[in-house]
C-alpha cells in the first residue's frame, strides 16, 4: 500500500479506539446531518450513485462534513432540492489521539518525548475498507451526469482514492 505524504491519520494499524464512555474529552464530530434531500426518491428514484472506497483508511470527521456540504451544494445547484436524496453511510466512531509536543525555544527542557506517549483525543474518524460505500445519492432519470459530477467533487475532499458507480434502479411497477 503506497503511503502518501502529509496524511497523518489516513492509514491505520491495530484495533479501533471507540469506547467513548472510557475516554474523557472526545470532541464531537463536525458532521451531524447524514441524510439530505427528498426521501421519497429512495422508492421513486430511477438512478442511484455510490461513492466507494478503493483503499482501507481513516476519513476524519471534518473531511466527511466537507464532502457532505460540497455534494449537497452541487446537487442543489444542478438538480434542485426536490430532485435528489443523499445519505452519508459511514460514521466517525474511531477516536484519534495526538501526543502534543511543545514547539518553542527551551521546550526540550519541558518535554518527556516518547515517555508515556499515549496522546489526548483530538477528533474522530470513520474507518473504511475497500468496497465500503461512503455516500449514496438517489435521483431521477436524466440526472446521471449531474450526480456523477457531484460525487466527483465530493471525492476530492477525501484522503483515500474512491470509485463512482451509477446504477439504474428497477421500476417498481
The whole domain housing 78 covers 34-96+119-168
Q: Evaluate whether residue 10 is within a structural domain.
A: no
pLDDT at position 148 is 97
132 within domain boundaries: yes
User: What is the full DSSP assignment across 45-99?
Assistant: -SEEEEEEESS-EEEEHHHHHHHHHHHHHHHHHHT-GGGEEEEE-----EEEEE-
7 within some domain: no
In this prediction, residue 62 has a pLDDT band, given cuts at 50, 70 and 90, of very high
Structural domain includes residue 21? no
Query: Is residue 137 one of the residues assigned to a domain?
Result: yes
CA-to-CA dists, residue 122 to 20, 42, 50, 104, 107, angstroms: 13, 36, 30, 21, 21
Residue-wise pLDDT for 111-166, tens only, equals 667 777 788 899 999 999 999 999 999 999 999 999 999 999 999 999 999 999 99
Number of domains in the chain: 1
- 88 within domain boundaries: yes
pLDDT value for 16: 85
Instruction: Convert the pLDDT of each residue in 31-50 to its tens digit.
Output: 999 999 999 999 998 999 99
Residue 5, pLDDT score: 46
Question: Does residue 71 lie in a domain region?
Answer: yes
Residue in 138, 27, 154, 37 with CA at minimum distance from that of residue 92: 27
Residue 13 pLDDT class (50, 70, 90 cuts): confident
133: CATH: 3.90.1170.10
Beta bridge partners of 84: 139
Query: 49 — phi, psi (to 5°)?
Result: -105, 140
Q: How far apart, in whole angstroms, are the C-alpha atoms of residue 88 and residue 61?
A: 12
Cα distance between residue 124 and residue 26, in whole Å: 8
Identify whether 76 is part of a domain.
yes
pLDDT band at 106 (very low <50, low <70, confident <90, very high): low
Of 90, 91, 75, whose CA–CA distance to 41 is shortest?
75
Amino acid at each position: 500500500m503506497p503511503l502518501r505524504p502529509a496524511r497523518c491519520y489516513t492509514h491505520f494499524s491495530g484495533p479501533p479506539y471507540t469506547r467513548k464512555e472510557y475516554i474523557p474529552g472526545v470532541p464531537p464530530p463536525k458532521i451531524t446531518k447524514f441524510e439530505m434531500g427528498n426521501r421519497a426518491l429512495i422508492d421513486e428514484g430511477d438512478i442511484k450513485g455510490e461513492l466507494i472506497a478503493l483503499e482501507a483508511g481513516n476519513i476524519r470527521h471534518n473531511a466527511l462534513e466537507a464532502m457532505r456540504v460540497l455534494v449537497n451544494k452541487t446537487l442543489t445547484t444542478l438538480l434542485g432540492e426536490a430532485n435528489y436524496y443523499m445519505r452519508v453511510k459511514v460514521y466517525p466512531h474511531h477516536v484519534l489521539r495526538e501526543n502534543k509536543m511543545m514547539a518553542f525555544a527551551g521546550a526540550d527542557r519541558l518535554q518527556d518525548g516518547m515517555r508515556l506517549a499515549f496522546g489526548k483525543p483530538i477528533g474522530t474518524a470513520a474507518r473504511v475498507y475497500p468496497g465500503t460505500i461512503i455516500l449514496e445519492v438517489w435521483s431521477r432519470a436524466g440526472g446521471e451526469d449531474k450526480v456523477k459530477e457531484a460525487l466527483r467533487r465530493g471525492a476530492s475532499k477525501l484522503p483515500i482514492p474512491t470509485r463512482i458507480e451509477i446504477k439504474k434502479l428497477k421500476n417498481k411497477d
